[in-house]
Amino acid sequence: MSLWEYANPVKFLGLSARVQPYVWGGAALCLIVGLGWGFFGTPDDYRQGSTVKIIYLHVPAALMAINAWFMMLVASLVWLIRRHHVSALAAKAAAPVGVTMTVIALITGAIWGQPMWGTWWAWDPRLTSFLILFLFYLGYIALWEAVEDPDTAADLTSVLCLVGSVFAVLSRYAVKFWNQGLHQGTSVPLATGGRTVSDVFFYPLLISMVGFGLLFLALVLYRTGTEIRLRRARALLARSERGA
C-alpha cells in the first residue's frame, strides 16, 4: 500500500471519514482537559500572576500557525511536482485554519504583552515576522479566491506558499537569529528538551498543544473533503452545461 493511493479523492474521503470521529474526539478531549486544567487547576506565576494562563492558548496557537504553513508547503510541493489535486485542495483547506491560529497568537500575545511588557505591540523580530506571516496567509487565501481556473490558482498559491515559508521559518527562529527584541526564547524546545517551563505549567500546556494539533488535523481533513466535493460539483455542472 502506498501513501499516493490517497491522492485519489474517493480513497481520501473514505479514509478521512473513518479517522475523523477519533481525531475530533481526541481534539475535544485534549482541549477540554488541557485548557480546563490550565485555567482552573494551575497556580499563578510569581512574576506574571494569572496572565500565565494565557500560555495555554498562545503557545499552541503560535505553534500551529507556523506548522500549518509548513503543512501547506509540503502539500504545495506535492502539487507542483506530482500534480495531485487532493494535495492542492488540502493546502487550500488548511489556510483559514492557519490564519485563525495566527490571529489567536497575535491577539493573546498582545493581551499578555500589555500588562507584562507595558505595550500591546513592539516591532520585535518574532512579532514582526509573525505579522508578515499573517499577511501571507491573507494573500494566499485572496489569491485562491481571485483566480478562476483551479489549476492556475493552485500553481500560483503554491509559489506564494514557497515564498512565504521564509517568514514561517523566521517566525520560529527569529529569536535565535537576532537574539534581540522583547519576545522571550522558545518555552518548550522539543528538539533539545531544555524547557524553561516548570512541570505544573508544562503538562497542561503539552495537552493543549496536542489538542490544537488534533483540532488542526480534524479541520483540515473535514475542509479538504468539502473542497473535493465542491470541485466535483463544479466539474459536473461544467460537464452538463457543455452537454446542454
Partner 1 sequence: MMPELGKYAAEVLAAYGVSLLLLAGLVGLSLNKGRKARATLADIEARKDG
Establish if 49 lies at the interface with partner 1 (CB under 8 A). Answer: yes
Q: Yes or no: say if 103 and 131 are a contact pair by the CB < 8 Å rule.
A: no
User: Which listed residue (79, 112, 144, 167) binds partner 1 by CB under 8 A?
Assistant: 112
Q: Which is nearer to partner 1, 83 or 229 (CB)?
A: 229
Q: Yes or no: say if 156 and 143 are a contact pair by the CB < 8 Å rule.
A: yes
Q: Yes or no: say if 204 and 38 are a contact pair by the CB < 8 Å rule.
A: yes
Cell of 85: 489535486
User: Which listed residue (30, 54, 95, 205) binds partner 1 by CB under 8 A?
Assistant: 54
* Rounded least distance, CB 215 to partner 1, Å: 7
User: Which listed residue (21, 115, 185, 189) binds partner 1 by CB under 8 A?
Assistant: 115
b/e burial code for range 39-55 (CB count within 10 A of at least 16 → b): eeebeebeeeeebbbbb
Near partner 1 by CB under 8 A, which window of 6-14, 126-134, 170-178, 228-236? Answer: 228-236
Number of other residues whose CB lies within 10 A of the CB of residue 144:
19
User: Which listed residue (8, 14, 114, 190) binds partner 1 by CB under 8 A?
Assistant: 114
Whole-angstrom CA distances from 44 to 49, 179, 212 are: 5, 28, 23
* Rounded least distance, CB 228 to partner 1, Å: 9
- Phi/psi region, residue 122 (left: phi>0; alpha: psi -120 to 50; beta: rest), is beta
* Rounded least distance, CB 204 to partner 1, Å: 13
Residues of this chain that interact with partner 1 (CB under 8 A) are 35, 39-40, 44, 49-51, 53-54, 57-58, 61, 96-97, 100, 103-104, 107-108, 111-112, 114-115, 215, 219, 222-223, 225-226, 229-230, 232-233, 236-237, 240
